[in-house]
Each structure stands twice: as C-alpha cells, then as structure tokens.
Structure 1
Amino acid sequence: MKIFLLSILSVIGIGSSFYVSEHVFDVFIQDQTTRPIELYLFRNEGTFDLATGVSIDDNTFTAEAGHSITAGDIVCFQDSIFIMQTTVLNVNVNEITIDSPFDYAFKQGAGCAYGTPNIAVDGSLTPQIFAVSPARLNKGVDWDITRMIVAITDDDPMDDGKFGGIPALTNGITVRVTDSFHYNLFNVKRNADFRLTAYDVSYLDATLGPDGLYSIGVRKSFGGQDKYGVVLRLKSETKDKFQLIVRDDLSALNEMYVKIQGHFVDY
C-alpha cells in the first residue's frame, strides 16, 4: 500500500498560493495482536458462584446450590481480565459438565452468569433481551466489537419477504448498544432487512442444510472504512452492553443464534 503526503512548502502573503510537493511512502499494514473475542448473545437467566476453583483444562465445575442451569445453556465466566463462554452438556445437581476445557483457573466465588443462546423465543408479550457485556471485568478492560454473525435454521423455505422461514415480523428485532445512554443500531423485520443493513446474506437449501433444515447466514461488519467505518467499543467501567431485543414470537423458528466478534482494547 502507498500513502501520499502533501506538504506545504511556502505561503506568500495573505490569500496567496500554496506550493505543494507530493511524497510517496510505502506503508505495511500489520494486524494487531490483542486477544480476540467471539461470544454468543444470550438471555441472562441467573447468576451463580463457583463452589470451588477450577484448573486449566478441567471440563467440569461445581456451582453453589440454588442455580437453575440446564443442559444447552451458555455459561459465562468473568474474572479480572478473563472471560470464557461454554455450553453445558450435563447437569448432575451442582456438578456441571461443559463442552470446552477451561482456559483460565477461575477462583472459588468467581461470579458467573448462565442462560439460553437460542433466540427462537416468544417476545410478543414481554420483550426478551439477549446480550453480552464486559461489565464484570476489571475497570479499564474494554472490547471493540467489529462483527456480528447471525445463523437461523427452520423447517420452511426462506426468502427475502420472510424472517427466517416464518412470516415477516411486526415489531422486528432491534440491535442496540447501551452505555451511559442507549442507541439503536438497526431493526430487522424480514430477511431483506438483513441484506439492507449487512449486505452479506446467504441462504442454504434444505437439501444441504443440517437435518434437512433451511438456513440463512448473515455477517454484519462494523470496523473498516468500507463498512461502518467505526468499531463498537464496550467499556467495563460503564457496564456497556451489546443487546438484541425480541418483541415478536420467534418460537416457530427451529433455532436462531447470534455471535459477536472483536478484540480486547490495548491502551
């Protein structure tokens, strides 16, 4: 890549001419090396504490009594500058088996949250909020969100006039960021709205999809001058959140999942 630098050589009098020379420099773009993040949005259905600490590579943990964790839930562990999400495979009272080994030795009493990542729920009477946040991490530990990925599967064929394989929504799903105030990013009522806001949309026919299901995939990019041009920064200090709000009945869908991708901020 080359970058052009215009330098002013001289100015003559008031309102005079500018004499400009052009210099060309070679610039090498290097990817940053801060820790990446890839996290599900999930509906928070409760919090729990670890009854005992865990070690790296453990694939079970013991939760304090009183939780309502079930198989299929996402559990989210946050401590200091570390975060880990994993899916619950089995629950034996307070002994929980997960699908990924621990990559950090979370301590006894570490605060954790759990809930469903499947957005195919009924939000027509009570809005359902799916979110992710660095709020439990240390002050000054922030994220830059660069991308959002959507995956929907359904028994019925899909087209731009539907939402997944069900009729277009009345209220639509709203994606927003909350920090010291709330601001909505976009609203989607039908698959065509995904195309309008993200452009990167692909359908998969039932003959190719999982278990004979139809599917749609969406990639919404934020960072990059050819995209939004800005990343979405979530700060732990102000308990910022990335949210998706459901205000229609999506329960007829087979599944709907959303992930966000990005990286820790290196100050």
Structure 2
Amino acid sequence: MKGEIVFNKKLSDKYYYMKIKSPDFVINAKPGQFFMLKTQNFDYLVDPLLRRPFGICDIDNDCFTLLYILIGKGTYLLSNLHPGTIISFSIPLGNPFTIVKNSKVALIGGGVGIAPLLFLAKTLKSNNNFITLYYGGKTKDDIHLIEEFEKYCDNILISTEDGSIGSKGVITDLIKNFDYDIVYSCGPKPMMKAVINLFKNKVSKIEVSLDERMACGLGACLGCIVYLKDGEKIVQKRCCIEGPVFDGYKIVWEH
C-alpha cells in the first residue's frame, strides 16, 4: 500500500510523530494492530532492505499516525521525510486488542509503548468505558501526546524516573486501584512484567502488546518468537501472526 505523508513532527530529540493519508489503510485498521513500513522512498536503494514494524497510534478520518523513536538507520531516514512524500507500507497486521463495553479499564504505557494505546483509548471511549491512563517514562522527553489522551481518558497519572514531569519513580508506583474489569499494557518488558505481577489475582484479564524484532511481519522468518504457557506446556508463538497482543498472564517473561 502507499500513502502521502501529511506531517512528520519532531516532538523531542528522539521522538517523532507522523501522519499518513491512506483511506484504504484506515478502513480495516483496529487498535493494537501494526504495519510494516518502508523507511526510505527511493526505488533504487536497498538499504535498509527490510521494512520496519510500527504500531498504529491513531486513526483520524482517512489518515493514520505513528509515534517513533530514533534508534537506527531506518528511523533516521524516516525522520528526514517531508510532507507530500509518498511512502510504502503493508496492510494492518496482527491481532488487535479486545474491545469491551461499559467497563472500567486501565491503560498502562511506557515510553514509545504508549503509541498503540491512543487508538485503543479512542475506541474504548466510544464504547462507553471509564478509562484510567498510567503513563511512565525516564524523563519528560519520553512523555508525549497528553493532549490527545485527555480527549478520551477520565484519569491520567504520569511518572518519570527523574521526576521531571509527574511523580518521581516508575509507573507501577502510582497504581493503587485494582478495581478494573480489564487492563491493557504496552511498553518495556520489565514494566509489563511488573504490571502482571502487581495485578495478579486482582484483575481477571490483562492484554499486553509485545514489541519484538520483526523481519517479515508475515510469520515466515520466525524471528519474533515469544513463549506462552499452555497448561503444563510452554509453546512458541509468532508475535507478528498470533500477536502482537497476548494474554499477559500467559507470557513467559524469563525467555
């Protein structure tokens, strides 16, 4: 698929926010899905060879957005693309979050892992849910899109490890209420593991979105294997096909 870049905003030294116009993409997009994006737009270049996976951050009419962080050549090239550029990407991929109705829900995100929770928050609000957002980062430079989340979340709690915005500490320090019907989380694995341990036996369902290295996004390369509990067994699942959203209680975090 192809779309036109509407904007490519620099939010901080390492965070960028991009909007792409593509009516065909947004028709089938669901919260929690991802897509594989070609980070350079010159047909005669083959470096980087592989597309990069990104979560769908939000849907706005016939456009979708992504939040990304500079971590290598691919995202560096992406950060230099200008509005009007035609860019190539896959259809929406992977399994989405479960959407509940008339419930109390908690969204727990860390760093760039906050990205897929915005589209989720918007969808949950349209289904009459009461939403609390817990958002953590290392510094204030890791906290973004708060004004967007305020449109959909009833409560927002923020923490940073250095105390530069919100409370000082990690985000799980702020979780005192466990009266939720479902919890959704995306972010660093240590954070999500801590969330699982904190809510264990207190909330019946937790869904997590995993950010594994994906080369193909189609399940062929087996490069994004995650390990899940299946009764007494431990089974392998492909994050790109069976995920990226999983039952948090089934994840084997030590693998």
Tell me which of the two structures has the higher relative contact order, counting C-alpha pairs closer than 8 angstroms and 6 or more residues apart: 1
Structure with higher Rg: it is 1
**TM-score for both structures, normalised by structure 1:** 0.26
TM-score normalized by the length of structure 2: 0.27
Of Structure 1 and Structure 2, the greater strand share is in 1
Q: Which has the higher helix share?
A: 2
